[in-house]
Structure 1
């Protein structure tokens, strides 16, 4: 289903983005500024749509304590999170996942803007594992963290979701896999899919498990 069709169905593209943002991050709390920035929505639009979602009982507002820049003590702020008591939560989550281009092909289109890619593994939200620690692991010979971050943030804005990722040089990833450290175990010991492998990581993992 095209995004503009969803916009008609749900009222606006901004609302679709926010729905995905909350539904695919069901255990997290976000301040208004974080939501507006990550969804790349102007504040007035974000406020209007979030008020509508709150009235519909899909999201709820709560108070949390957060460490703000320039302050030594934690400050009480308003935050928003999905309302897990919403009756149609699972159905809405499934529908929006099925209609979003959350797949390896879309991810690679964005990542390749950062340069030649040697390795990509997807997990987490890409495989409907919303509580997973990591969604993307990527490696490049000449890694630019800034370019990778820009690519990920661009995809986040397109999909309206937060993407948790880790980026390494190709040599660093091979070293980590050889050690089978905690980060690699957190990905490869659970549901995942390797979609680019120019480093022989798949064979390395097979050897470690064999």
Structure 2
């Protein structure tokens, strides 16, 4: 969608990366590796973005780095647009996951919530075709430009681990997350 709006897939990938890491400076070769794009394409789009004023070049240790300009007049609007585009993709992502099996619980955490230290980014509970899930995640990892660490459990395993107060499971349940699907029975109260 954004590629049509901005006219260049490389430009969109650059903007997405810069806005997801607004304080991070990048050098050209790093961008070519991260975004899996040709160096000339990256250079051309950086030149375009620099002329517009969205990014600026900073020299550090005899290397040219590019960083996002937070004082750019449309910074907030572009950031909002990138976030909304990501949310639309996440909605498609969730819809696709629902189709790969009988998902009883789905929680997005980790990279979806800005928690880089999380042990998993997604918890899927239910009867799921793992091969289809792996293929689906591969497709979406390209968009997020990050590996999505996921955990799949059967409903029985989830309930067992919840009953044991499993550290890993409670790290997911007690921290910042978005619960997208919750068709699990509520835990029984202990007497």
Q: Same fold (TM over 0.5)?
A: yes
Give the alignment partner of residue 124 of structure 2, picking from 98, 120, 138: 138
| Structure 2 residue ranges without an equivalent (≥5) | none
Distance 1:151 1:59 in 2: 36
Q: What residue in structure 1 maps to residue 67 of structure 2?
A: 83
* Structure 1 residue ranges without an equivalent (≥5): 37-42, 64-80
Q: Describe how 1:179-190 pairs up with structure 2 within 5 A.
A: 179-190=164-175
Q: Distance in 2 between the 1:174 and 1:82 partners?
A: 48
Secondary structure of 2:135 counterpart: helix
Q: Which has the larger radius of gyration?
A: 2
Aligned partners of 1:121 and 1:193 also within 8 Å = yes
Alpha carbons 1:123, 1:193 under 8 Å: kept: yes
1:11 aligns with 2:7: yes
Query: Equivalences for 1:3-82 in 2 at 5 Å?
Result: 3=1, 6-24=2-20, 32-36=32-36, 43-44=37-38, 47-52=39-44, 54-55=46-47, 56=50, 57=55
For the aligned residue pairs, the C-alpha RMSD in angstroms reads 4.0
Equivalent in the alignment of 2:149: 165
* TM-score normalised per structure 1: 0.59
Q: 1:72 is matched with which residue?
A: none
Cα shift at 1:113 = 4.7
Offset at residue 58 of structure 1 (A):
6.5
User: C-alpha distance in 2, partners of 1:59/1:121?
Assistant: 39
List aligned pairs for 1:95-134, cutoff 5 A: 95-100=81-86, 101-103=88-90, 105-126=91-112, 129-132=113-116, 133=118, 134=120
SS of equivalent to 1:176: helix
How many residues of Structure 1 are paired with residues of Structure 2 in the alignment? 172
1:157-188 deviations in whole A, cap 9, x for unaligned? 3x444363322221333333333334333322
The structure showing larger relative contact order (alpha-carbon pairs under 8 Å, at least 6 residues apart) is 1
